[in-house]
Amino acid sequence: MMKNVLGVLLLFTAGILPIRAQQINLDPVTVSTSILEKRASETGRNLTVIRGEDLRNLPVSSIDEILRYLPGLEIQARGPMGAQSDIVLRGGTFQQVLVVLDGLRLNDPTTGHFNSYIPISPSEISRIEILKGASSSIYGSEAVGGVVSVITKTFESSSKADESFLEGGLAAGQYGLWNGQLGGYLHKDKLRVSGGILSNNASGQELRGTKGYFHNHTASVSARYQLAANTHVAYRASFDRRDFAAQNFYTAFVSDTATEKVTGWWQQLEIGHTGKSSALTLKAGLKSAVDEYLYNPVSVANKNTSGLGQLLLTWSRQWSDHTDFVAGVNYQQRKIRSNDRGNHEIQQVAPFVAASHRIGNLNIHPSLRLDWRESSSAELVPQLNLSYKLASWQLRASVGKTIRDPDFTERFNNYNKKLVTGGSVGNPDLVPEKSLSYEVGFDYFHNTNWKISATGFQRHQRDLIDYVPTSFADMPRKENLSPTGSFALAENIARVVTRGVEADLQYQYAWNKKNRLNGMLGITLLDSEQSVAKPSFYLSSHAKLLVNTSVSYKTGRFFGSLNGLYKKREPRQENALLTRVEKTYFVLNAQAGLDVIVDKLSLFIQVDNLTDKRYSDLLGATMPGRWWRAGIKFRY
């Protein structure tokens, strides 16, 4: 197995040759670390930035598949091509990573299982920023393992003048697969407009007595208008629907033949004014989602309607050439209406401040947030980031506190049903998770064409929430529970210490317009120690060794790309389901194509899971074997 991994690493190494290349910037301006515009090398954080155009020819069909091969990100997929995936960073659970779209949080108040449903098309992505480590002092709850920030072409602060394109593709393949994508962008004078449609459909491979079908669709449109030289307004509306087989996504019972439909709407508004040395921005977001989950044909479907409303007001000022300051306040309203979890609503208000000060080559970034939640006490969340820039090197260190609030599923799952015969049960007495994180590391930039990063980190966590097998006699509330049932209760069960090291490599070469090479590689080693021996479902599910890699190459009319993923983790097995979580697995996806019209129209063939590996990221949810397709792409 490791020979396969080494083969991919050698493929990457072959690209790092002493060749003459056009310069491509791997040290861009970012706002993800503190809402202050700074170069990535000045932030004091391990930050990976991937441009949208570098993702265009990778063998992926959905945004969660894009994330799966980015350095250091662990995507625990339950189904293919956007059905459902959990996002993990630095060994945190799927609830401990925050997803942000153009500055506003996307995490669903019902469950973190929906956080990978990013409601845009791939063609709208300007860049993806992966911020690893503690980030709650700016972003609040869930920013424990890190933040996945997606910035689109319409909402980004700067873009190429008078640029426009239309691109898309259509493919068909095995198991009734067909997928299509269409997207475009227009920048003319004061107006920017972008939008797109993404659709993935298949009857699916055989599961236990059914098929792993999916019908996943996303449609989005956005516009930005420059009202004056220093004032702009931007707006987005999106629709997202996922309809898929969900067998054993959440349980390990043989009777589980579930199906699920998740329908979401997203609206986003931004108004900004920039002065000579200050800027004021108001962002507003409204998210609603309807989740319909049917455990099996004879059960009653769970129907959950959730809502997330938010406002983010920020004011920033440049005090001098060496000092910047930002202050803001974030308001959130989370609510749910459910036949399973009941009706609940929570308000939250959080003011925050951050600063950046440079002394010679030393950059200091303190930040502080006060998080007040209606359901629990207020939390003060501080953080300090340091970076020292020396020629092509950045040395960095960070220490920060993080928090994570329980969601509505953890609090109230199966609380409103008349009779519960088994499964996960919520606990309204849960308290927020808290942790303290430390990290040190370095970045090395070579000729702006390649970047090497290495980081060591440690996170001390307490009151971590997970589901624990619990007998009927020990359940705190028994009113609607069957005495013969088998239950898992949500509890604050553990203190967990997570230690790890990560190394990332990015490189990009362009000999000319016809010859380009892009590559990424991430290696993460993790170890977590729990203070209790209670068996739990998610706390130990992360990979102990994670290697994710992608490479794409174009020369003349030919292009090809590979994505590789290797995991080593704790094995698990469920004999009744004849399924298991393997100790190790390696998956390789490949794509090759030929331009019919150079850089405008191409034909391609793609094979997922090239070696036909049988594997699961989470117990019971078996991922597909080898799966091929062929199609066309165009861009004008």
Predicted pLDDT at 581: 81
Tokens of 206: 């055989």
- Per-residue pLDDT, averaged over 474-484, amounts to 90
Q: How many CA atoms lie within 13 A of 408 on its CB side?
A: 27
Parallel, antiparallel or unpaired: strands 302-318 and 231-245: unpaired
Nearest alpha-carbon partner for 171 in 566, 598, 607, 531: 607
Predicted pLDDT at 548: 93
Q: What is the pLDDT of residues 80-136, one digit of tens each?
A: 998 999 999 998 888 899 999 999 999 999 988 899 999 999 999 999 999 999 999
Q: What is the pLDDT of residues 164-179, one digit of tens each?
A: 999 999 999 999 999 9
Q: Hey, how many other C-beta atoms are within 10 angstroms of the C-beta on 449?
A: 20
CATH number of 2-544+613-623: 2.40.170.20
Predicted pLDDT at 4: 47
Predicted pLDDT at 56: 80
Query: What is the SS3 assignment for 281?
Result: strand
How many whole angstroms from its chain centre is CA 161? Answer: 30
d(CA 536, CA 333): 30
d(CA 151, CA 128): 6
Give residue 6's pLDDT band: very low, low, confident or very high (50, 70, 90): very low
Q: What is the pLDDT of residues 492-540, one digit of tens each?
A: 887 889 999 999 998 888 777 778 888 999 999 999 887 766 656 666 7
Query: What is the SS3 assignment for 572?
Result: strand
CA-based end-to-end distance of the chain? 42
Tokens of 145: 């393992």
- Contact criterion met (CB below 8 Å) for 494 and 466: yes
d(CA 109, CA 157): 29
Q: Hey, how many other C-beta atoms are within 10 angstroms of the C-beta on 432?
A: 18
The mean-pLDDT minimum among 16-25, 339-348, 370-379 falls in 16-25
Quote the percentage of the chain above a pLDDT of 70. Answer: 90
Predicted pLDDT at 38: 67
Give residue 58's pLDDT band: very low, low, confident or very high (50, 70, 90): confident
Q: Hey, how many other C-beta atoms are within 10 angstroms of the C-beta on 421?
A: 14
449 or 4, higher pLDDT? 449
Cβ-based burial of 209 (10 A; exposed 0-12, middle 13-18, buried ≥19): exposed
DSSP lists the bridge partners of residue 256 as: none
DSSP lists the bridge partners of residue 522 as: 504, 548
Q: Is 25 a residue whose pLDDT tops 60?
A: no
Residue 448 gets the label, from left (phi > 0), alpha (psi -120 to 50) or beta, of left
Q: Is 300 a residue whose pLDDT tops 70?
A: yes
Q: What is the pTM of this model?
A: 0.91
Q: Is 628 a residue whose pLDDT tops 60?
A: yes
Triad 209, 212, 218: Cα angle to 5°: 155
Predicted pLDDT at 144: 93
Residue 81 gets the label, from left (phi > 0), alpha (psi -120 to 50) or beta, of left
Predicted pLDDT at 618: 83
- Per-residue pLDDT, averaged over 210-235, amounts to 94
Q: In sequence order, what are the residues at sequence separation of 6 or more whose Cβ sits closer than 8 angstroms to the Cβ of residue 479? A: none
Query: Average pLDDT, whole number, for the chain?
Result: 88
How many whole angstroms from its chain centre is CA 47? Answer: 14
- Per-residue pLDDT, averaged over 584-613, amounts to 94
Q: Is 426 a residue whose pLDDT tops 60?
A: yes
Q: Is 390 a residue whose pLDDT tops 70?
A: yes
Predicted pLDDT at 355: 93
Q: Is 354 a residue whose pLDDT tops 90?
A: yes
Q: Per-domain residue ranges for the chain?
A: 2-544+613-623
